[in-house]
Structure 1
Amino acid sequence: MSKAAEIDIVSVSKVYGTTTAVEAISLKIPAGTYCCLLGPSGCGKTSTLRMIAGHESISSGDVRLGNTVVTDLPPARRGTAMMFQSYALFPHLDLIDNVAFSLKMKGVGKDERRAKALDMLKLMQMEAYAPRRPAQLSGGQQQRVALARALITDPEALLLDEPLSALDPFLKIRMRAELKKLQTSLGITFVHVTHSQEEAMALADLIVVMNEGRIEQAAHPRTVFERPATAFVARFMGDHNVVSGRVTGSHDGMVVFDVPGGASLAASGQGREAGEPIDIAIRTDHVRIGEPPAKGLGFTGIVANIEYRGSTVKLSVNGTGIEDFTVIVDDADFFAKPVAVGDAVPIAWDAEDAIVLGRLDS
């Protein structure tokens, strides 16, 4: 295989008429990284992937692959390969000819390209199916063939557009493990578009969370999970409660703020001016129920909903000025001291679990 390449995206924008799909994003993806572009529909992640591939023109900015600026190069000359969401296999060709197609376009001789295609099918454990047509394969098998076809050109980076979205939940998890194993063994850069937080967490060394054409955070999965950069990331990843208010002051390394129509709370952080808007995040699984909170580190609320989830129980609690506050508690702890919908319960957390979030300049 060819070596992996670093991908450097420099102030790249994509404008369709009056709509800005991607707004001046800059991102370095180190060579050999498994990078997931993550975000809701319409956030610009697929446009970004297609601009790296050369299937979408860049309105402004540059893309560099290794030492080469590829902004104006056609897809075939970039050193990237793309695997499409639909797999786009040719129904009338057997698997060997499907996989060998790009080599045929490059003028590689029939015996050589078919031998290389068979090697790629072996890598995907699909050589036994070589004489078949795509319609005779399952979804997971078709995906393996699409991967073999993308990898036959020895790309420095493989670009994957929602590659697991068409698979059933069990196959998704199996193929996730295979993709990770494949990337590790090939050592090339993978850039994978998904709207699934779970998929991104399971696969990526680098998660890039996008929203409305901009990058909200680019970091290791654990950092994104433990220290979300913005309120959007905290809400999208789904593991933090976000509480907003206005700063009233600070003391002992804590910033104090009022929730509209509600309590006064505190969070770890400083350098905030009185009257400034503030968002804080509190991990859902670091919240305790039934324990009176220290000053500014909790509130009393009414239990609105309880969901049993096996090893954990999820509670939704409403406080004054705070709606749908989520608490995830261990099932043994919950059933040792159960509460019911409609109960008033104190909610508490530790100072280090309340983090002040940044805001993107609008």
Structure 2
Amino acid sequence: MSKAADIEIAAVSKVYGTTTAVDAISLKIPAGSYCCLLGPSGCGKTSTLRMIAGHESISSGDVLLGNVNVTDLPPARRGTAMMFQSYALFPHLDLVDNVAFSLKMKGIDKPTRRREAMEMLKLMQLEPYATRRPAQLSGGQQQRVALARALITKPEALLLDEPLSALDPFLKIRMRAELKKLQASLGMTFVHVTHSQEEAMALADLIVVMNDGRIEQAAPPRAVFEKPATAFVARFMGDHNVISGRIVERRANGTVIEVNGGGKFFALGQPPATQETADIAIRTDHVRLRASDSDTLGLTGIITNVEYLGATVKLSVNGAGVEDFTVVIDDADYFAKPVKPGEAVPLSWVEADAIVLGRLGE
């Protein structure tokens, strides 16, 4: 395999008519890392991937692979390979010819390309199926053929567009582990588009959360999970409650906000002096049901929903000025003292679990 390369996106935009799909984003993806572009539908993640690949023209800005500016190069000359969501396998060709197709296009002789295709099928544990056609394979096997076909060109970076979306939940988890193992063994730069938070957390060294054509946060999974940069990231990752309110007090170590219902909440951190409002985030799994002597912060609310999720139970609570507040607790803790929708409950958390969130453009 060829060596991995850094990918640098410098002030890249994509404009379709009057719509800006990607808005002047800049990002450096280190060589040999597994990067996930994560966000809801229409956030610009697939357009970004396609611009790196050369399948989409860039309206402004540059893409660099290693130290080579590839902005105006066609896909075949970029040193990247793309694996599409649909796999795009040729139904009339067997696996060897499917995998060897790009080598055939490059004019490489038949014995060489077939030998290299067999090596790739071996890497993907598909050697016994070499003479089969795609329709005779399972979804997971088809995906591995598409991977082999992309990797045979020995790219510096592999670009994957929602590669697991067509698989059933059990196979998704298995293929996730295979992708991670493959990327680690090849040491190649992988850039993977997904709308699944769980998938991104499981795979990535670097998660890039996108929204409305811009990057909200680019950080390792743990940082995105524990310290979301913005209210959007906190809500999208689903592991924090977000409370918005007016700033009523600024302290040395934090900020007090007041919500419409009159409740006041303290969080660590300082928003810019020009801001009159702030968003604060509280980890859903660090909220305790019922007040505790060691906890200094909290609220009282009415339970609106209870979801049993196996190892945990998810509770939805509405309080004065605070709606859809989520609490995730261990199943054992919940069933020791269960609560039902309609009950009023006190909730509490420690000071360290409430943080002030930043906003874009600060």
- 1: CA distance between counterparts of 2:275 and 2:155? 53
Please give the per-residue CA displacement for 1:45-92, whole angstroms capped at 9, x wherever unaligned. Answer: 000000000000000000000010000000000000000001111111
Give 2:44's aligned residue.
44
Distance of aligned partners of 1:296 and 1:361 in 2 relative to their CA distance in 1, 3 Å threshold: farther
Give 2:191's aligned residue.
191
Give 2:3's aligned residue.
3
- 2: CA distance between counterparts of 1:173 and 1:280? 33
Q: Which residue identity does 1:303 align to in structure 2? A: I
Please give the per-residue CA displacement for 1:185-223, whole angstroms capped at 9, x wherever unaligned. Answer: 000000000000000000000000000000000000000
Give 1:291's aligned residue.
291
- 2: CA distance between counterparts of 1:313 and 1:55? 44
Asked if the contact 1:294/1:348 (under 8 Å) is kept, the reply is no
1:175 aligns with 2:175: yes
Bigger shift: residues 290-299 or 47-56: 290-299
Give 1:164's aligned residue.
164
Q: Which residue identity does 2:240 align to in structure 1? A: H
Q: Output the TM-score relative to the length of structure 1.
A: 0.97
- 2: CA distance between counterparts of 1:132 and 1:289? 57
Asked if the contact 1:256/1:296 (under 8 Å) is kept, the reply is no
- The alpha carbon displacement at 1:334 in A equals 1.7
Give 2:70's aligned residue.
70
Distance of aligned partners of 1:272 and 1:49 in 2 relative to their CA distance in 1, 3 Å threshold: closer
In structure 2, runs of 5+ residues without a counterpart are: none
Asked if the contact 1:293/1:346 (under 8 Å) is kept, the reply is no
- The alpha carbon displacement at 1:269 in A equals 1.3
> Percent identity at matched positions?
77
Question: What count of residue pairs does the alignment treat as equivalent?
Answer: 362
- The alpha carbon displacement at 1:335 in A equals 2.1
Secondary structure of the 1:8 match is strand
- The alpha carbon displacement at 1:277 in A equals 1.2
Bigger shift: residues 262-271 or 43-52: 262-271
Q: Output the TM-score relative to the length of structure 2.
A: 0.97
- The alpha carbon displacement at 1:254 in A equals 2.2
Give 2:18's aligned residue.
18
- The alpha carbon displacement at 1:29 in A equals 0.1
1:93-242 pair list within 5 angstroms: 93-242=93-242
1:201-350 pair list within 5 angstroms: 201-270=201-270, 272-273=272-273, 276-291=276-291, 297-350=297-350
Secondary structure of the 1:148 match is helix
- The alpha carbon displacement at 1:252 in A equals 4.6
Asked if the contact 1:292/1:346 (under 8 Å) is kept, the reply is no
- 2: CA distance between counterparts of 1:273 and 1:119? 61
Secondary structure of the 1:42 match is coil
Distance of aligned partners of 1:295 and 1:92 in 2 relative to their CA distance in 1, 3 Å threshold: closer
- 2: CA distance between counterparts of 1:325 and 1:15? 37
Secondary structure of the 2:249 match is strand
- 2: CA distance between counterparts of 1:21 and 1:69? 22
Please give the per-residue CA displacement for 1:119-145, whole angstroms capped at 9, x wherever unaligned. Answer: 000000001111111111111111111
- 1: CA distance between counterparts of 2:321 and 2:103? 62
In structure 1, runs of 5+ residues without a counterpart are: none
Asked if the contact 1:293/1:349 (under 8 Å) is kept, the reply is no
Bigger shift: residues 144-153 or 296-305: 296-305
- The alpha carbon displacement at 1:337 in A equals 2.4
Q: Which residue identity does 1:194 align to in structure 2? A: T
Asked if the contact 1:303/1:344 (under 8 Å) is kept, the reply is yes
Bigger shift: residues 283-292 or 183-192: 283-292
Distance of aligned partners of 1:272 and 1:62 in 2 relative to their CA distance in 1, 3 Å threshold: closer
Asked if the contact 1:162/1:192 (under 8 Å) is kept, the reply is yes
Secondary structure of the 1:314 match is strand
